[in-house]
Amino acid sequence: MTNNLKYACIVLDHDDTVVNSTATIHYPSFVEYMKIYRPNIKMDLEEYFRLNFDPGIVALLMDICGLSEQETKEEEQFWSDYVKNHIPQAFEGLQEILRQYQSRGGKIAVVSHSYSYYIERDYAANDLPRPDIIFGWDLEPEKRKPDPFCLYEIERQFDLTAKDILVVDDLKPGYDMARAAGVDFAAAGWAYDVPEIESFMRENCDYYFKTVEEFGKFLLGSE
147 and 68 share one domain: no
pLDDT tens per residue across span 95-138: 999 999 999 999 999 999 999 999 999 999 999 999 999 999 99
pLDDT tens per residue across span 27-55: 999 999 999 999 999 999 999 999 988 88
CA angle, 65 as apex, 60 and 67 as ends, to 5°? 100
How far apart are the C-alpha atoms of 13 and 10, rounded to whole Å?
A: 10
Amino acid in position 150 = C
CATH of the domain at 174: 3.40.50.1000
178 and 74 share one domain: no
- The residue range of the domain holding 127 is 9-20+90-220
How far apart are the C-alpha atoms of 6 and 64, rounded to whole Å?
A: 40
63 and 144 share one domain: no
pTM of the model: 0.90
> What are the phi and psi torsion angles at 210 (to 5°)?
-80, -25
192 pLDDT exceeds 50?
Answer: yes
